[in-house]
Amino acid sequence: MYALRGYVSFTANSSNVSTSNNTITLSSHGLSSGDIVRYVATTNIGGLTSGTIYYAIRVDANTLKFTTSAANAKAGTAITLSSAPSSDETQYLFN
């Protein structure tokens, strides 16, 4: 069973979602590679689906990638991000 510990909210837009690097910039996100998160959004970042559980790949203290399994997180194999919301939207990572 998976228990939620808290959440990180962020504003998703083309400034902090990089489709060329498959990264999302979240200041001081506090997540580590392999952490399980549930992504929640009204307008999905292309490649992610709201309500789905993903594994974090920590790039640095302010940047993350996501993947579909613990093995992929360990290997650094990220999901391809294809688009960002066209306007600022608050989104959440529950962990």
pLDDT digits (tens, 9 = 90+) for 7-53: 888 999 999 999 999 999 999 999 999 999 999 999 999 999 999 99
pLDDT digits (tens, 9 = 90+) for 40-68: 999 999 999 999 999 999 999 999 999 99
pTM recorded for the entire structure? 0.91
Going by C-alpha positions, the residue among 8, 36, 21, 14 that lies closest to residue 81 is: 21
Residue 10 pLDDT: 92
Confidence of residue 1 (pLDDT cuts 50, 70, 90): very low
Alpha helices in the chain (DSSP H): 70-75
Confidence of residue 71 (pLDDT cuts 50, 70, 90): very high
